[in-house]
């Protein structure tokens, strides 16, 4: 029985499943890999960063959501922050609890925070920048007079997102632009997030805005089974399509 089960379940079953997957779902079975000009550039199932050598987000590309996976989209360290919507480490600074960042310390896991453009700006409860925090506001000063904050909090990510996309200071920010996914590897962003970024991408690439918006809608996937989740846009596939517009 041991030998028989070893042959059937240890060899036969895996070979059968692998063979059926290759025949019926070859692209998915091999990792949904994406190639451009014959060169492997990623997988449509895994998010990735679109940054330069210095870690700055490249303006001509759509940017993914933040990642809590290692240094960002590291498939060997898939993880989430497990911080809830009321957690002070996520929503903003609370004295004595969160003292990670000082004066705009850049974050590798936040695609909109750059070393050359620090985003550590004190805000009021509505997320609007203020210059002199008072009791009840989320940000405080150190004894040296500097503001203490963490660029990976939602208010800081929202400020960085608005700056990078040239939005007004009180513009609404999509939740997926300021929070990481459960795996830290989500390759998709919301349609609203993509449309917020479209004017920047069109401006940098010298394209008509309607061309970029049309492309966003072209690469928008509907709800799973028609009822689950929200429509989403695959960032890698969208950026590859952008390159073909040139």
217 assigned to some structural domain: no
Looking at residue 126, its pLDDT comes to: 55
pTM to 2 decimal places: 0.70
Task: Report the C-alpha gap between 173 and 181 in whole angstroms.
Answer: 16
Predicted confidence at residue 132, as pLDDT, reads 42
CA–CA separation, 238 and 195 (whole Å): 12
Is residue 140 domain-resident?
yes
Q: Which residue, among 48, 74, 72, has the nearest Cα to 62 in the 3D structure?
A: 48
Structural domain contains residue 170? yes
- Higher-confidence residue of 242 and 157: namely 242
Region of residue 55 (phi > 0: left; psi between -120 and 50: alpha; otherwise: beta): left
- Cα Rg of the chain (Å, integer): 22
Residues with Cβ within 8 Å of residue 80, at least 6 apart in sequence:
68, 180, 181, 182, 183, 184
Q: How confident is the model at residue 62 (pLDDT cuts 50, 70, 90)?
A: very high
Domain around 143:
80-185
The CA angle 153-93-63, to the nearest 5 degrees, is: 10
97 found inside a domain: yes
Average of pLDDT values for 189-204?
95
Whether residue 197 lies inside any domain: the answer is: no
In a domain, 141, yes or no: yes
Our count of domains for the chain comes to: 1
39 in a structural domain: no
Q: What is the mean pLDDT of residues 117-125?
A: 47
* 244 burial via Cβ count (<10 Å: 0-12, 13-18, 19+): exposed
* Gap between the Cα atoms of 122 and 148, Å rounded: 9
Coil vs helix vs strand at 34: strand
Q: Is position 219 within any domain?
A: no
Cβ pair 49, 107 in contact under 8 A? no
pLDDT tens by residue, 84-117: 776 655 665 443 333 333 333 334 455 555 433 3
- CA–chain centroid gap for 236, Å, is 11
Number of helices (H) and strands (E), helices first, in the chain?
A: 8, 7
Provide the mean pLDDT of the chain.
Answer: 76
Residue 179 makes CB contacts below 8 A (sequence gap 6+) with 65, 66, 90, 154
């Amino acid at each position: 029985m041991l030998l028989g089960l070893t042959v059937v379940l240890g060899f036969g079953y895996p070979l059968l499943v692998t063979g059926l997957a290759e025949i019926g779902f070859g692209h998915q079975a091999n990792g949904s890999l994406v190639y451009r000009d014959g060169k492997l550039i990623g997988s449509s199932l895994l998010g990735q960063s679109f940054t330069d050598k210095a870690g700055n987000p490249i303006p001509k590309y759509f940017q993914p959501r933040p990642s809590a996976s290692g240094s960002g989209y590291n498939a060997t360290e898939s993880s989430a922050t497990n911080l809830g919507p009321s957690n002070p480490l996520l929503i903003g600074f609370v004295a004595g609890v969160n003292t990670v960042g000082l004066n705009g310390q850049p974050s590798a896991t936040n695609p909109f925070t750059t070393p050359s453009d620090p985003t550590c700006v004190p805000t009021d409860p509505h997320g609007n920048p203020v210059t002199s925090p008072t009791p009840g506001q989320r940000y405080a000063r150190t004894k040296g007079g500097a503001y203490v904050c963490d660029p990976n909090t939602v208010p800081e990510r929202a400020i960085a997102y608005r700056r990078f996309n040239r939005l007004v200071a009180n513009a609404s920010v999509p939740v997926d632009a300021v929070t990481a996914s459960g795996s830290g590897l989500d390759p998709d962003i919301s349609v609203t997030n993509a449309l917020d970024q479209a004017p920047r991408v069109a401006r940098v690439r010298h394209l008509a805005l309607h061309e970029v918006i049309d492309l966003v809608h072209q690469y928008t996937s509907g709800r799973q089974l028609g009822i689950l989740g929200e429509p989403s846009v695959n960032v890698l596939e969208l950026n590859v399509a952008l390159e073909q517009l040139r």
